[in-house]
Amino acid sequence: KAGVTQTPRYLIKTRGQQVTLSCSPISGHRSVSWYQQTPGQGLQFLFEYFSETQRNKGNFPGRFSGRQFSNSRSEMNVSTLELGDSALYLCASSPTPGGDTGELFFGEGSRLTVL
């Protein structure tokens, strides 16, 4: 059974550009969550999607957005990139929606560098 797949694994952008990251969850999993990991702030929750609906959102500016498709694949977008957006972006999938006791499984992440 394939794990959570994130693409691209590495990317470099310049300030002001936008970026789109993709996440394919484990087959059969319908919940996808996104996290940002930085040396200073650690791991922080961005948002969670279930059945194409955003169910929960962390404390990030509106430049950070996401969506989920009918096949449960998810994308997140960051517009008007800032230097501080440089981070490892991790996606997690779970077989259950928010509030349940399901386990989360993480992908390898997409490392974004903003110059």
Partner 1 sequence: KQEVTQIPAALSVPEGENLVLNCSFTDSAIYNLQWFRQDPGKGLTSLLLIQSSQREQTSGRLNASLDKSSGRSTLYIAASQPGDSATYLCAAKAAGNKLTFGGGTRVLVKP
Q: What binding mask, one character per residue, do residues 11-40 give for partner 1 by CB under 8 A, x or -?
A: --------------------x-x-x-----
Distance between CA atoms of residues 28 and 111, nearest Å: 26
Taking CB under 8 A as the rule, does residue 56 contact partner 1? yes
**Does the protein bind partner 1 through residue 8 (CB under 8 A)?**
no
- Please check whether residue 72 is in contact with residue 62, taking contact to mean a CB–CB distance below 8 angstroms: no
| Interaction site with partner 1 (CB under 8 A) | 4, 6, 31, 33, 35, 42-45, 48, 50, 55-56, 58, 88, 90, 92, 94, 96-109, 111
